[in-house]
Amino acid sequence: MRTLDLPSGLERNYQRFYLNLDREAFDRWLFASVGDTVRKFPHTVVKSLHHEAGGYSVVCANGMKLSCRFIVGADGANSVVRRKLFPHVCPARYVAIQERFALASRKPHFAAFFDPEITDYYAWGLPKGGEYLLGAAIPAVAGAGEMFLRFKEKIRPFGYDLQEARSRETTLILRPGGPPGSGVLADYTACLLGEAGGYISPSSAEGFSYAFRTAMLFYQSLELAGERTASHAYFKVACRWQARLMRPLRLELWGKCLKRQVLYRPLLRRLIMYSGLRHLNRIDP
């Protein structure tokens, strides 16, 4: 991983291991893997939901209405379930902007860029297939697009003269300032999983592992609850088990929050980079 502190010009190389995949293809594979005992509604956007006697009413953009006794929000950073039922859960919001470029020359590294003038988070670059991906996580405020253009200009002197993007994609990501709560509604009829509940690394924005782990822990909590009938008592016991099982995960995210305090303070970051700790000398072929 090539790490660049743009204002100071400091550069260090660190050994890291990442798994990168095609998100759309992966999502489609996951969806297709869901068994036939589950009713699936592809290409359906949830517009709103309402708490009513005996459960919830879910309204979709196509006019379809669904009713349920219990609801689990695993709907990401812009979670409808969180905004409606958990308004107190409001981590900082960032816009991730990423562009794709033709890969003119092989850059055999993942690049991480830091510049507080652009963002108090970070930006990245990596080769993927026959393209080079360049992105940045910028606070979700007016002018984020202009900040991204400014970022591209600032990295040109470091060998990233990228011209004519093939495409641009944006998404909303959350950055919790502390470990998330249990993500369970007081009456035990709703809960949050993954990024919807604030389970995402505030230091790297990695969220896949937390999405899968919170989902698995919730599944285990349903098993521990014992019953097989969808009663309120069953779901209440399951939610209590979930809150208990999630404690180690919340503790882990607390450690990530501490790491954030070090990594994203310019002075501390530069002191670490100046020290040369774990720096690897690059050997060009």
Q: 41-91+177-260 domain in CATH 3.50.50.60?
A: yes
Q: Name residues whose C-beta falls within 8 Å of residue 267's C-beta, 6 or more positions apart in sequence.
A: none
pLDDT of residue 88: 86
Asked whether residue 244 carries a pLDDT value surpassing 90, the answer given is no
pLDDT of residue 77: 93
Asked whether residue 229 carries a pLDDT value surpassing 70, the answer given is no
* Mean pLDDT to the nearest integer, 124-141: 92
The DSSP string of 158-189 is GT----S-SEEEEEEEEE-SS-----B-TTSS
pLDDT of residue 276: 79
pLDDT of residue 151: 96
pLDDT of residue 120: 95
Quickly count: other Cβ atoms within 10 Å of residue 230's Cβ: 10
Share the mean pLDDT of the chain. Answer: 89
Sheet holding 2-5, edge to edge: 10-13, 2-5, 111-114, 123-128, 131-139, 92-102, 167-175
Q: 2-21+92-175 domain in CATH 3.30.9.10?
A: yes
Whose tokens are 């562009």? That residue is 99
Asked whether residue 105 carries a pLDDT value surpassing 70, the answer given is no
What does the block give as tokens for 233?
């008592």
What's 12's DSSP letter? E
pLDDT of residue 99: 96
Asked whether residue 142 carries a pLDDT value surpassing 70, the answer given is yes
**Given pLDDT bands bounded at 50, 70 and 90, which one contains residue 100?**
very high
Considering the entire predicted model, what is its pTM? 0.88
**Given pLDDT bands bounded at 50, 70 and 90, which one contains residue 194?**
very high
Phi, psi of 279 (to 5 degrees): -75, 140
Asked whether residue 24 carries a pLDDT value surpassing 90, the answer given is no
Q: What SS3 state is found at 4? A: strand
**Given pLDDT bands bounded at 50, 70 and 90, which one contains residue 228?**
low
The residue ranges of every structural domain in the chain are 2-21+92-175, 41-91+177-260
pLDDT of residue 283: 62
- What whole-number percentage of the chain has pLDDT above 70? 96
Asked whether residue 82 carries a pLDDT value surpassing 90, the answer given is yes
pLDDT of residue 149: 95
**Given pLDDT bands bounded at 50, 70 and 90, which one contains residue 227?**
low
